[in-house]
Structure 1
Amino acid sequence: MTLLFGSNLVAMVTPMRPDGAICESGLADLVDHLLTTGCDGIVVGGTTGESPTLTETESAWLVGAVSARAAGRARVIAGVGTYDTAASVRRARAAAAAGADALLLVCPYYSRPTQAGVEAHCVAVADATELPVMLYDVPARAGIAMETDTLISLAGHPRIRAVKDAKGDLPSAMAVMARTPLAYYCGIDELNLPYLACGAAGLLSVVGNVAADRNADLIRAVRGGDLASARAIQRSLDPLVGAVMGTSQGAVLAKAALAERGIIPHATVRSPLLPAPASDLARLKEALAVEVG
């Protein structure tokens, strides 16, 4: 099944050198790794890519570099959401000019607008380019959720086509899926299997940075109706999911996992994120050893 955004999406980290600059060689190797392991959609400059620390120039450059490297083998979805509508519009236009295939738009955070304000923000960004838009509903980070009625209303926009759901409210997700054509993508690695079983179009995974092949297996098993295999795959991923998502921070541990595997040369993150403590790294190495085994 071919989908507008793909089905096995990864929230890609942004490889950095020890001095904090973007690591171009690490970026090229990471894109190659994601393509080789079955990723068909790469989210560039999202939260896992440390978007709050990326300048507008860096964000646009990343989209161009990943688009050139992927060369049509995967959809490139640019994270453009901020808490400032005008800035988000600028980033959307820059991403389109740099070659993005689609946009990821997070619910505006910190200022906690009304639902009418959320809708106006999303419409303004969707109107700024001709690219399809995936909304990102993540109340734990944004401070507010996109309510069911808001999502149903936004589904009427011709370019708003999907939702990355990190809210974890399956009844709400199922209600929106039943009443709109929006394609849902699970944004919580712990819930990948139940979301797929409830009709999600695919996954948008942090753990996919190092396990996109296993996520691909999970998607195939669910689509094939083999829930016994799907449950076994999800259980096999649980230690890695816990090590990456249940410790310091997803972006931090995903980078550490990639560095441990030799896919990127450094696990550098930008402040205010800090390197993972030794206890978290030990848990991660143990989970990676199980996954390899």
Structure 2
Amino acid sequence: MITGSTVALVTPMTAAGDICWQTLEQLIEFHVFNGTEGIVAAGTTGESATLSFEEHAQVIRFTVEKVAGRVPVIAGAGGNSTAEAIKLTKDAKQYGADAVLSVVPYYNKPTQKGLIAHFTAIADAVDIPILLYNVPGRTIVDMTVETVAVLAKHKNIVGIKDATGDVSRVQPTLEACGPDFAQLSGDDATSCEFLLAGGHGTVSVTANVSPKGMVEMVSAARQEDRDRAERFDQLLVPLHQKLFVEPNPIPVKWALNQMGLIPPGIRLPLTELDACFHEEVMQALKDSGVAG
């Protein structure tokens, strides 16, 4: 089971929009050194929507090679076309990913029956652990607990990243899917409560800038130490809030650039963080102890 604090890793880019491979390697080492327990490569935060198929495969292959088995690598491999998602999933397996993160198809608004057919087709086509990814804020469609329960019966579907922010789903999902089905929070603001309610880990944007803080919070929450978990989470709250003042990954890439960890590049149609937000994001970095 994939547990603990997993980072939804950014894809560093130059000002011209080219992938910066040396910086990606440095970010990987930064996370391994700071205790991050898993890395998502080429996910939403990694700007998967604007990576070409070739770049997508290159990011996954590069990340797997540089991680070298020290932590699990989860490859973003979703799409709004089932055939495309299968191809990305096959690529992820070929390049050695430990699992894939497969998002609910976006834009075309499938039914719950369509979701079952989509994910079943992927799981039948590729023998690799699959994490479902429910993020209705981006996909419009919300995958229900009942649909997750049907999909959890497939041997290759091993868990879910739940970015709904609805902590009340944890227990019904546990009852419907069993204790071996991984539940990972995809909403930083509610991740502490998600874990205290019985979740197994997080896939975090905040972990990009505060990997140690997220590891400490997740560890305390998984030990059911509410007081300690909430103390750590309170330090992270400014980041949970301000790293989403514009659509992810705009604020987190700006923050990482200010920390000297990545170049300023981001790909259109995303643009650099608006200047009106610079002061408050910087203040969040200071308040959380990750910037002087």
Q: TM-score under structure 1 normalisation?
A: 0.95
Structure 1 position 73 matched with structure 2 position 62? no
Q: Match for 1:213: what amino acid?
A: K
For the residue of structure 2 that corresponds to 1:204, the secondary structure is strand
The answer for the alignment partner of 2:59 in structure 1 is 62
Residue number in structure 2 paired with 1:107:
104
Match 2:12 to one of 9, 12, 15: 15
Per-residue deviation, 1:252: 1.1
Equivalent position of 2:202 in the other structure: 203
Residue in 1 aligned with 2:118?
121
Q: Give the Cα separation in 2 of the matches to 1:99 and 1:23.
A: 21
5+ residue gaps in structure 1? none
- Mapped contact 1:137–1:164 kept (Cα < 8 A): yes
Counterparts of 2:247 and 2:155, CA distance in 1? 35
1:252–1:267 Cα contact (<8 Å) kept:
no
* Residue pairs, 1:24-39, within 5 angstroms: 24-39=21-36
Give secondary structure in 2 for the equivalent of 1:221.
Answer: helix
Letter paired with 1:169: D
**Distance in 1 (alpha carbons) for counterparts of 2:264 and 2:248:** 12
The one-letter amino acid of 2:182's match is A
**Distance of 1:226 and 1:122 partners within structure 2:** 36
Q: How many residues align?
A: 288
Whether the 8 Å contact between 2:105 and 2:139 is mirrored in structure 1 is yes
Structure 2: how far apart are the matches of 1:225 and 1:276? 37
Partner of 2:192: 193
Deviation digits for residues 88-125 of structure 1, max 9, x if unmatched?
11111111111111000000111001111111111111
Letter in 1 for 2:210: A
Deviations along 1:183-216, whole A, 9 cap, x unmatched? 1001000001110011100011001101111111
Aligned to 1:98: 95
1:160 is aligned to 157
TM alignment of 1:138-153, pairs within 5 A: 138-153=135-150
Q: Provide TM-score, normalisation by structure 2.
A: 0.96
SS in 2 for 1:250: coil
| 1:261 equivalent in alignment to 2:259 | yes
Let me know the Cα RMSD of the aligned residues: 1.2
The 3-state SS of whatever aligns with 2:131 is strand
What secondary structure, in the 3-state scheme, does the structure 2 residue paired with 1:77 have?
A: strand
SS at match of 2:133: strand
What displacement does 1:134 show? 0.3
Q: Distance in 1 between matches of 2:119 and 2:218?
A: 29
The runs of 4+ residues in structure 1 deviating greater than 3 Å are: none
Partners of 1:126 and 1:159 within 8 A in 2 = yes
2-structure distance, mates of 1:256, 1:281: 8
Tell me the secondary structure at the aligned position of residue 57 of structure 1: helix
Determine if contact 1:48/1:206 at 8 Å carries over to the other structure: yes
SS at match of 1:127: helix
Contact 1:155–1:180 (CA under 8 A) maintained in structure 2: yes
C-alpha distance after superposition, 1:219-269 (max 9, x if no partner): 221233321121111111111211102x112211111111111112x1211
Shift of 1:38: 1.2
Q: Distance in 1 between matches of 2:90 and 2:219?
A: 35
* SS of equivalent residue, structure 2 residue 277: helix
Local SS of the residue matching 2:269: coil
Q: Which amino acid aligns with 1:20?
A: G
Structure 2 unpaired stretches of 5+? none
Contact in 2 for aligned 1:185/1:203 (Cα 8 Å): yes
CA distance in 2, matches of 1:93, 1:224: 36
Q: 1:248 aligned to 2:266?
A: no
Amino acid corresponding to residue 259 of structure 1 in structure 2:
N
CA distance in 2, matches of 1:63, 1:166: 22
- The offset of 1:72, in angstroms, is 0.6
Look up the match of 1:226. Answer: 225
Provide the secondary structure at the position in 2 that maps to 1:81: coil
Distance in 2, Cα, partners of 1:225 & 1:169 = 19
Could you tell me how far apart the structure 2 residues matched to 1:10 and 1:26 are?
16
Distance between the aligned counterparts of 1:172 and 1:219, measured in 2? Answer: 18
**CA–CA distance in structure 1, aligned partners of residues 113 and 224 of structure 2:** 40
On the 8 A contact 1:6/1:74 being kept in 2, the answer is: no
Query: What does residue 269 of structure 2 align with?
Result: 272
